[in-house]
Amino acid sequence: MARDYLYFPGCSLKATGVAYEESMQELFRILEMPLRELEDWNCCGATSYMAIDEESAFQLSARNLSLARQNGNSDLMAPCAACYLVLRKTQDYVKKYPRVHRHVAASLESAGLPMMDGVKVRHPLEVLYNDVGLEKLESKVVRRWRGGPVACYYGCQAVRPFTEVDRAHNPIRMDEIMKAVGVPTVDYSLKTKCCGGALTGTIHDVGVRLNYLLLKEAARKGANAIVTLCPLCQFNLDAYQVEIQKESGESFDTPILYFTQVLGWAFGADPRKLGFKRGIAGRKLLKQWFAEHAEVEQYV
């Protein structure tokens, strides 16, 4: 019997990153790896929370870990890079700093929850790489990719300290997975550089410029699409292309995809369930690439 994977969606996968959740569920279904959503989960405590009130952020994060522990599952998969990082950071801090350990233990106890020892926080990219493996992924391919080369973009949080997604400076696992399923990749030097994160909302022009640099370099390297593993990266790169086009005078219409969408498509998933329609930029290109499918208008 295949093991099931407990996963923590976080806010993004229920909002701007719905396509990520949809495509991931479809992908894992095809791979016969049942997914189960963590019940009664709450905010992971990432980014803004962590920046303003570290203690509460740790407590929020710890509650999710504790719920996973109660579920009796040793792995908790967090597809959003921000959730993944903050859950891991919480574990690290609880282990290293007695003060954090004390606060977290006290607040869990007051909620009648056990301490969250022994939970391993995982990311779907690393799950596919380690638990499934390149060979098996390659064997699952049923559709040929017609989109040409893509740029694999890892962003920052998935490769920061505390994480185990890939190596920090020159991550390659997404590239290897893409190549394994017949999707060529370019040598994308900006693969871990900043997408602007929340800056697109706060210091807008700085945030948007960072996305401009990412899009431009991907195009310069000959990539037709950018493949991401983080909902915030995907959102930033996708949402501001019209604005970037206006400001820079250069034309961009680059599809920004989740790696789960590309894999799902390659493995012959029902394309309607991969969330292509939810993207903003590059839909014209996607339609061209998928043109041989009769129902393309329905899902892109």
By C-beta, is 5 or 212 nearer to other proteins? Answer: 212
Q: Report how far residue 10's alpha carbon sits from residue 15's, in angstroms, rounded to the nearest whole number.
A: 9
* 211-151-221 Cα angle (round to 5): 85
Supply the DSSP symbol for 6.
E
* Closest distance to other proteins from the beta carbon of 260 (Å): 27
If the CB atoms of residues 178 and 218 are measured against other proteins, the closer one turns out to be 218
**To 5 degrees, how large is the angle CA 276–CA 34–CA 127?**
75
User: DSSP secondary-structure letter at 129?
Assistant: I
Name the minimum Å distance from CB 151 to other proteins: 12
Q: How far is CA 194 from CA 62, 86, 90, 190, 285, in A?
A: 27, 17, 23, 8, 25
Which of 11, 15, 7, 19 is CA-nearest to residue 73?
7
What does 51-85 look like in DSSP terms, one character per residue?
HH-HHHHHHHHHHHHHHHHHTT-SEEE--SHHHHH
User: Which is closer to other proteins, CB of 96 or CB of 169?
Assistant: 169
Please report how close the Cβ of residue 240 comes to other proteins at its closest, in angstroms: 19
Q: How far is the CB of 175 from other proteins (least distance, A)?
A: 13
Name the residue nearer to other proteins (CB basis): 216 or 293: 216
Euclidean distance between CA atoms 197 and 236, whole angstroms = 7
In the complex with other proteins, which residue's Cβ is closer, 187 or 295?
187
The DSSP symbol for 238 reads H
Q: Nearest distance from residue 248's CB to other proteins, in Å?
A: 12
CB-nearer residue toward other proteins: 39 or 247: 247
Least distance CB 165 / other proteins (angstroms): 15
Query: What is the rounded CA–CA span in Å between residue 17 and residue 259?
Result: 13
Q: Shortest gap between Cβ of 217 and other proteins (angstroms)?
A: 5
Closest listed residue to residue 77, CA positions, set 120, 47, 106, 112? 120
Structure tokens at 118: 């022994």
Dihedral sign, Cα of residue 209, residue 193, residue 89, residue 8: positive
Q: Which residues bind other proteins (CB under 8 A)?
A: 167, 169-170, 187, 189-190, 213, 217, 220
User: Of the two residues 26 and 175, which places its CB atom closer to other proteins in the complex?
Assistant: 175
Q: Which residue lies nearer to other proteins by CB, 51 or 206?
A: 206
- C-beta of 184: minimal distance to other proteins in Å? 18
